[in-house]
Structure 1
Amino acid sequence: MCEPGGGGVAAFLNRHPYEVNAERVLPLDGGPAHPVGADGSAVGDVPMGGAALSALNKSVRNKSSLNKNKNKNKNKNKMAGAGGGGAALSSLMPALELRRLHQLPEADPFTVARRFVWECLDICLPPGPDFTRLETAVLLAMQTRDAERMRRLPDIEAQAAFSVEEFLRPLGISEVAGYEATEGLFLNILQATEYVGLLYKGRIDRDRPNVVEPRLRPLLSVPAHQSFPSNHAFQAHSIVFAFNAILPEHPATEELQRIAQNVAENREWAGLHYPSDTQAGKELARRFAPYLRDAFAAGFLAAQSEWH
């Protein structure tokens, strides 16, 4: 996607703050309900597509609130030196980056697609009913392994409200001042990818495993939204791909990948996701990564500067 050019875009966004809802980008000040073109001018009213997200879904706010409350308890020296990262930690949703995702690329206005490219990424659709039955059989077999399920239960419960702490610890920056931009980027990625993942879930509309197989006993309350793709897999691997873009030579990159896979697979052990949901979440993270880097370009540069 195109980088916004010149001061025209910034001036337009400052004059017309926007609110993202389930159907379109709406102005908060009564201005025109349009995305912004690459030259800073408003482009035609383009629906965002996807199912209704209940104002970006309550779970986004809940997770953000949990992370915000946790960050308030971190050492004061870290927050005092936060700079740009502190601003990221205090925001509920990365609104500017979401607006950038919803800006149209440069194109003839008569040929612009009604959907944004990142809403239509080529990921495999869920398997058919025969393969789905095989997957439920696998989940039932996992359910019989009580010892392994109980071993994973503390992590499953802790990961229900997604936190970036698991990804900060192997990098050696948990509770350490000077890496606020990296932590802020991770938090904002979690929130943005939850929003994007919900769009795909609503469009594909796959039932949860326990709906297909009533004998499954999930270890957690089953979320109200759909199953495919797994947002935990999407979010966790998006953080991994983001850090690989920032510092691929870091020795902890393989550990981050292991953590992301563990977070995703724990949702299967909890009885909440099929294995194909997990694979689709990882694949969506891989394909969405370039659009994420474009929308969060400033955050990527700020995080990278902390490591050099």
Structure 2
Amino acid sequence: MYEDPRIASLALQGHVQALDVFRTGLATGRLAHAWLITGPPGIGKATFAFRVARIILGGEAPQSPAGRRITAATHADLLVVGRGFDEKKQRYRGEIVADDVRPINAFLRRTAAEGGWRVVIVDGAEWLNRSAANALLKILEEPPPEAVLLLTSSAPGRLLPTIRSRCRRLDLAPLPSACVQSIVMGAAPDLDPAELQRCLAGANGSAGRAFALLADEGGRMAGLVEKVLAGQSVSQSYATAEAVLRKDEGFNLFFSLLSDALQERARGAARQGLGVSVVFAQAWEAIMRLQAETERFNLDKQETLLEAMTIASKA
């Protein structure tokens, strides 16, 4: 249901002030060479990065030569790095590996094909494994002129401190409700009004979360997450795991909703000045790592779900 961020960047929703930061930096010749674009999952960080690439490469107009090449993924001065897609398993790999990062060196060593800037987007930088992170760090330590690296991350704390210190950080805010509604209606114009309101009510400014809620027909999966966080017996946890795995894409949906719920509790506790916010944050980190390792090593999903529920209920 998600639109390709290359295309979606032509009609980016929200983040106007953040875009102005790049427009001003480009106009004044003070554009930082590396940026860490952060914010909650599903608010359009990748789409934002592609819009920035369009600004830098002169491709904001969809029918301009540069605009068409960016949309078609053929612009010679734009390189995109992210988790590779495993065609056999039909899913994204659990990490970004060194082989994914190495092309950046060759890309930045050559002269810009169109005589201007070169742009590298590293989407989901929190998925960099140790070798990939070290390879990227070497590039950030000696950046070439007229090159910009855009790193997106929903979990910047998982990045090496040395990578964070070499990037200018830009935190994107959650989207206004009207923007989320526009994105959802664009993807599902015939959506039942009651379902739309249910999704918007729990979206918290994230189109990605709205789509996750939309996939959770009737809110059943969200209800399972709430029961987990309220505490349940071992037998109830097994029943929950079975219910999750019976649904197509249930595993990923459950983790998405559980992740969002923990993050929301962490933010709420932090706003109230409660030290328990750290506990929720640590639980979220452990669960995200558990999901990534399950995807990477093809671990037993039922065991992963049971462990994740134990972590969440303790928090």
| Same fold? TM cut 0.5 | no
Greater per-residue strand proportion:
2
Give the TM-score normalised by the residue count of structure 1.
0.27
